[in-house]
Amino acid sequence: MRAQGFGYAYPVAPAPQSKQVWELRNAGLGVLSNMPGAAKGVACIEDTAVAVTDLPAYIGEFEKLMAGFGQKSVYYAHAGDGELHLRPILNLKKTADRVQLRQIGEAMARLVKKFGGSLSGEHGDGRVRAEFIPLMIGEKNYELLRRIKRAWDPNGIFNPGKITDAPPMNTSLRYEPEQQDKPFDTVLEFPDGILRAAEKCNGSGDCRRLDFAGGTMCPSYRATRDEKDSTRARANALREFLTRSERANPFSHRELYEVMDLCLSCKGCTSECPSNVDMAGMKAEFLHQYYKTHGVPWRTRVFANIGGLNRLGAYAPALTNFFLKNPAVAPLLKRVLGVAPQRSLPAVRPSLRRWFEKSGGVAAYRPGKRPRIFLLR
Ligand code: SF4
């Protein structure tokens, strides 16, 4: 490439530095999603593909087109396949940007068509690009799609408005035009505010990966396979209530509590989500705010102080264990504490120090037996 004068940089990254190249690739989406401020790279033309040989001309025209809109785009690509994930920077809470969203969408559909490419090279037309399908495949072919859809779904109940008869892409958006973000007084520090922290979720759904995909994120979804227990659902619910709630304390909704409840605060999402959504941090803040209105439940107080309570119970272990294990009392205790009936409550034991004192210290040392270690103050 150097000899032919192609390119402008020729780095060589042998192992182990080559690992960093792959890590940069993995971090790409997170870097894009973590753009500060309300304007974000919007995934509206992010799946275009043209023939690799057409890429230079295509990119040249694309850049001119963006300049015409006063825009700079984010590029994220596997250009070797001719596929470019392009994202104009838009604030969809602003009317002008919502208008531009559609203008850019249509202009891009025409540009891709001109190069004989695909508007949905890797993913799907879905809801965002569906209105441009007639333009891409022609009215006659589009009518065939509509007829197929009508034949199988005469009442239009399956995914209405997707692929066929889709409404304009800039309608039914998450936010209202000219929506103002409210400031939130949080105890934890979120560099750009808690709403922006939730808005980092780009909806890619990586939190729905199952066990065989490896990693940790998201254990609650893996357990229930229910969307409401995914990181994405928590981020979605948070931004919904933080933008639309009329209550003085927008964190106080029971629905939010239910979506947050199964989050284990494991921080799997902080490291594995492509946008590094930190749900553990948001859950901690949410609970603090929620408890301001609803009070701290008894169950939470018990578990928060379990060390002290166990120490107390250890003074009379037999009596404590009688209550913890008694078939009449234990179920009642579990119900009050919100513990699943199938789980057993762990028995308490005398403290190590008491046991050691009682056993006469050195008496516990048994020559010739497996060595034991005693930790004492
Ligand atoms: S912190 Fe919560 S949301 Fe994030 S991966 Fe763990 S359980 Fe899921």
Q: What is the pLDDT of residues 231-241, one digit of tens each?
A: 999 999 999 99
- Distance (Å, whole) CA 153 – CA 261: 38
Whether residue 365 is predicted with pLDDT greater than 60 in this model: the reply is no
Measure CA 264 to chain center. 14
Q: Separation of 198 CA from ligand 1 center, angstroms?
A: 13
Q: Which of 201, 207, 220 to mutate to test the pocket of ligand 1 (most atoms within 8 A of CB)?
A: 220
Q: Separation of 351 CA from ligand 1 center, angstroms?
A: 34
Whether residue 148 is predicted with pLDDT greater than 60 in this model: the reply is yes
Ligand 1 first shell, C-beta below 6 A: 217-220, 231, 234, 263-269, 279-280
Same domain, 120 and 78: yes
Q: What is the pLDDT of residue 220?
A: 97
On whether residue 179 sits in a domain, the answer given is: no
Q: What is the pLDDT of residue 123?
A: 86
Q: What is the pLDDT of residue 164?
A: 93
Same domain, 131 and 209: no
Same domain, 267 and 237: yes
Final residue of a domain: which of 92, 122, 152? 152
The residue whose C-alpha atom lies closest to atom 6 belonging to ligand 1 is 266
| Percentage of residues of the chain with pLDDT beyond 70 | 95
Average pLDDT score over residue span 188-196:
93
Q: What is the pLDDT of residue 234?
A: 98
Q: What is the pLDDT of residue 366?
A: 61
Q: Separation of 232 CA from ligand 1 center, angstroms?
A: 10
| Percentage of residues of the chain with pLDDT beyond 90 | 62
**Between the CA of residue 314 and those of 327, 347, 348, what are the distances in Å?**
21, 10, 6
Q: Separation of 262 CA from ligand 1 center, angstroms?
A: 9
**Can you tell me which residue has the tokens 């850049």?**
63
Same domain, 346 and 258: no
DSSP state of 103: H
Dihedral sign, Cα of residue 146, residue 148, residue 153, residue 159: negative
The residue whose C-alpha atom lies closest to atom 3 belonging to ligand 1 is 231
- Which ligand 1 atom minimizes the distance to the CA of 283? 2
On whether residue 283 sits in a domain, the answer given is: yes
**pLDDT tens-place string over residues 50-100:** 999 999 999 999 999 999 999 888 888 888 889 998 889 999 999 999 999
Per the structure, the complete domain to which residue 125 belongs is given by: 39-152
Q: What is the pLDDT of residue 376?
A: 57
On whether residue 302 sits in a domain, the answer given is: no
Q: What is the pLDDT of residue 303?
A: 92
Average pLDDT score over residue span 178-201:
91
Average pLDDT score over residue span 207-220:
92
Q: What is the pLDDT of residue 44?
A: 87
Q: Separation of 299 CA from ligand 1 center, angstroms?
A: 21
Q: What is the pLDDT of residue 327?
A: 92
- Which ligand 1 atom minimizes the distance to the CA of 234? 3
- Which ligand 1 atom minimizes the distance to the CA of 221? 8
- Which ligand 1 atom minimizes the distance to the CA of 216? 5
Same domain, 92 and 147: yes
Q: Which of 269, 270, 278 to mutate to test the pocket of ligand 1 (most atoms within 8 A of CB)?
A: 269
Q: Which of 225, 228, 231 to mutate to test the pocket of ligand 1 (most atoms within 8 A of CB)?
A: 231
Whether residue 32 is predicted with pLDDT greater than 80 in this model: the reply is no
The residue whose C-alpha atom lies closest to atom 8 belonging to ligand 1 is 218
Number of domains present in the structure of the chain: 3
Q: Separation of 231 CA from ligand 1 center, angstroms?
A: 6
**pLDDT tens-place string over residues 260-306:** 999 999 999 998 998 889 999 999 999 999 999 999 998 899 999 99
Higher pLDDT, residue 29 or 74: 74
On whether residue 116 sits in a domain, the answer given is: yes
**Can you tell me which residue has the tokens 């490291």?**
271
* Best mean pLDDT range from 198-202, 234-238, 333-337: 234-238
Q: What is the pLDDT of residue 180?
A: 84
Q: Separation of 270 CA from ligand 1 center, angstroms?
A: 8
Q: Separation of 122 CA from ligand 1 center, angstroms?
A: 28
C-alpha dihedral over 175, 176, 182, 184, to 10 degrees?
-20
Q: What is the pLDDT of residue 377?
A: 53
Same domain, 134 and 74: yes
Phi, psi of 88 (to 5 degrees): -70, 150
Q: Separation of 199 CA from ligand 1 center, angstroms?
A: 16
Higher pLDDT, residue 30 or 173: 173
Question: For the chain, how many helices (H) and strands (E)?
Answer: 16, 4
Same domain, 206 and 119: no
On whether residue 3 sits in a domain, the answer given is: no
Q: What is the pLDDT of residue 203?
A: 85
Kindly report the number of other CB atoms within 10 A of residue 124's CB atom.
Answer: 12
Average pLDDT score over residue span 28-43:
79
On whether residue 177 sits in a domain, the answer given is: no
**pLDDT tens-place string over residues 150-164:** 999 999 999 999 899
Whether residue 372 is predicted with pLDDT greater than 70 in this model: the reply is no
Q: What is the pLDDT of residue 117?
A: 96
Final residue of a domain: which of 101, 123, 152? 152
Whether residue 324 is predicted with pLDDT greater than 60 in this model: the reply is yes
- Which ligand 1 atom minimizes the distance to the CA of 265? 1
Same domain, 132 and 101: yes
| C-beta of residue 197 within 8 angstroms of C-beta of residue 189 | no
Higher pLDDT, residue 35 or 316: 316
The contacts of residue 48 (CB under 8 Å, 6+ apart) are 83, 84, 86, 108, 112, 117, 118, 119, 121
Total-model pTM: 0.76
The count of C-alpha atoms lying within 13 angstroms of the C-alpha of 81, restricted to the half-sphere facing its C-beta, is 12
Q: Kindly give the pairing relationship between strand 40-41 and strand 73-78.
A: unpaired
Same domain, 291 and 341: no
Whether residue 183 is predicted with pLDDT greater than 80 in this model: the reply is yes
Q: Separation of 310 CA from ligand 1 center, angstroms?
A: 28
Could you tell me where the DSSP H helices lie in the chain? 17-33, 55-68, 95-114, 133-137, 139-152, 194-199, 219-224, 231-244, 254-261, 268-272, 279-294, 298-304, 306-313, 317-325, 330-337, 352-358
Whether residue 375 is predicted with pLDDT greater than 80 in this model: the reply is no
Final residue of a domain: which of 152, 168, 183? 152
Q: Residue 70 sits in a domain of what CATH number?
A: 3.30.70.2740
Whether residue 343 is predicted with pLDDT greater than 70 in this model: the reply is yes
On whether residue 261 sits in a domain, the answer given is: yes
Amino acid at 151: A
Same domain, 268 and 325: no
Q: What is the mean pLDDT of the chain?
A: 90
Q: Separation of 263 CA from ligand 1 center, angstroms?
A: 5
Same domain, 288 and 318: no
On whether residue 171 sits in a domain, the answer given is: no
Q: Which of 211, 236, 260, 263 to mutate to test the pocket of ligand 1 (most atoms within 8 A of CB)?
A: 263
Q: Separation of 82 CA from ligand 1 center, angstroms?
A: 35
Q: What is the pLDDT of residue 341?
A: 93
Q: What is the pLDDT of residue 374?
A: 62
Same domain, 229 and 287: yes
